[in-house]
Amino acid sequence: MAGFFAHAGTAVVVWIFQLSMIPILVWFERKASAFMQDRTGPNRAAVAGIRLGGVIHTIADVVKLVFKEDITPAHVNRFYFNLAPFMAMTVALLTFIVIPIADSLVVGSTTLHLQALKIDAGLLWIFAVASFGVIATIFAGWGSNNHYSLLGGVRSSAQMISYELAFGMSVVGILMVFATLDLNEIVRGQGHLLFGFIPMWGFVIQPLGALIFMIAAVAEVNRTPFDLPEGESEIVGYHVEYSSLKFALFFMAEYVNVVVASAFTTTLFFGGWQIPWLPTETLEAHASKVLLITCAAIAVGAVALAFVSMRWSRSLKALYTDSRRREGDIWAGVLLAVAALAAAGGILVLLHPLEGIAPSVFARLAQAGAFFGKVVFFSFLFIWVRWTLPRFRYDQLMSLGWKNLLPLALANIALTGIILRLLGR
């Protein structure tokens, strides 16, 4: 029973994380791109003067998309047309559930797996479910009964199928090294140290595999520089005919896919929930100390940010006359409250060190935090790459996938095999 609750709880956490990452990624996309191009980006929409640096615009967007008229053109194949956006979103949400967000927790005689779906072939589940995304694209392109949609759908599915090969082959190296398909075991295997001081993360022992995987992942989720399916300057792509919430579903599925791809990258090549140099046992043994350091860091960081907010508040007051002029003060207050809370927590931990099951639970929470932090970083990397590189031409895309990445992935498998043989494993 406890095991069921662990799975269900993890599923809820993971889905909430995925869905709440959508507005954050949209915000990253706008604000980061703006700053990269020397613009200021969104800073107008506000709730009672609180603008959150433009996050409120995303809420305004959602309201707009929900209340727009949902047009189903007369010429479409209704069944496939309506199925496609829901399928895209479902597939995007289903892939994440096999990924462990923290190490398994042993309570008494039961082991709680912090993994919504605990199956031994987790790696295969990812590839099996993720390839359904192509079908959603084909349905959308075909069901729209529009030449541009169809071209976009065909192009998109050709791209995704081509890169699925390199995507799958690049992971075989990891599979050979860790000799398991269980994702939690793979992550636990990355906790060892190489030569005694380098964490044995996937990208250290499989650099070529990691590189190919990340490039193929960008192509797989249709992001720039491989975003030919939605190349707005040439053809608009498979979602031309969609409007309102159905378009929003495609749009959100893209961001969920980004999160999922980042989570795979993290799990397979960047240590998953591992905190470098702090394996689970060490973390449990020194839980109080780590918590104390965390509290201190949060308190100091919040105070520093509060000072920045106060300085910012002065420039706001010079610029605005409405409720926005108070925003800096409000943030300073919130940050000081956070700092006070963290300091109080730190003092509490100092007086009453963690004992019993608390250190283990804290260790899992810290690992989950590390995992989600890494996922957010890699999601940002997707956006960062998007606003740096121009789009590939279709023939360049295909030649990169088939003539470069696939042979390199195969060579990587051979090389890994030879090295493993020489090491006698």
Partner 1 sequence: MKIPSPEMRWHERIYLFEVLRGLGVTIRHMLGNIARQHEMPTYQWPEQKKPLPVRLKARHRLTLREDGSPKCVACYMCQTACPARCINIVAEDSPEPTIEKRPRIFDIDLLRCVFCGYCVEACPEDAIRMDTGEISVVSHKREDFILHMDFLLRGQGTEYMQPEPAAEAATVKGKPIPPPDTPEEALEGYEAATKPPVPSSW
Interface residues toward partner 1, by CB under 8 A: 32, 35-40, 43, 211, 315, 318-321, 384-385, 387-389
Q: Among 72, 92, 91, 89, which Cα is nearest to 81's?
A: 72
Q: Least distance (Å) from partner 1 to the CB of residue 403?
A: 13
The residue (of 43 and 82) whose beta carbon lies closer to partner 1 is: 43
> Closest CB to partner 1 among 7 and 324?
324
CA distances 385 to 24, 171, 218, 411, Å, are 17, 22, 9, 26
Give me the least distance between CB of 40 and partner 1, in Å please.
5
Closest separation in Å from C-beta 38 to partner 1? 6
Residue with tokens 């308190």: 299
- Cβ proximity to partner 1: between 111 and 388 the closer is 388
User: How are beta strands 193-194 and 110-112 bridged, if at all?
Assistant: unpaired
Q: Which is nearer to partner 1, 77 or 399 (CB)?
A: 399
Residue number with CB closer to partner 1 (43 or 288): 43
CA pair distance 82, 80, nearest whole angstrom: 5
Q: How far apart are CA 366 and CA 290, in angstroms?
A: 9
DSSP-derived letter for residue 41 is -
Rounded to a whole number of angstroms, the minimum distance from the CB of residue 26 to partner 1 is 17
CB of 103 to partner 1, least distance (A): 32
287-319 helix and 358-386 helix, angle to the nearest 10 degrees:
40
Of the pair 96, 382, the CB lying nearest partner 1 is at 382
Residues near 97 by Cβ (< 8 Å), separated by ≥ 6?
Answer: 11, 14, 115, 116, 117
Q: Which amino acid is at 313?
A: S
Indicate the residue among 38 and 69 with the shorter CB distance to partner 1.
38
Q: How far apart are CA 25 and CA 35, in angstroms?
A: 15
User: Minimal distance in Å, beta carbon 298 to partner 1?
Assistant: 21
Instruction: Quote the least distance from Cβ 52 to partner 1, whole Å.
Output: 15
Rounded to an integer, what distance in angstroms lies between the CA atom of residue 194 and that of residue 205? 9
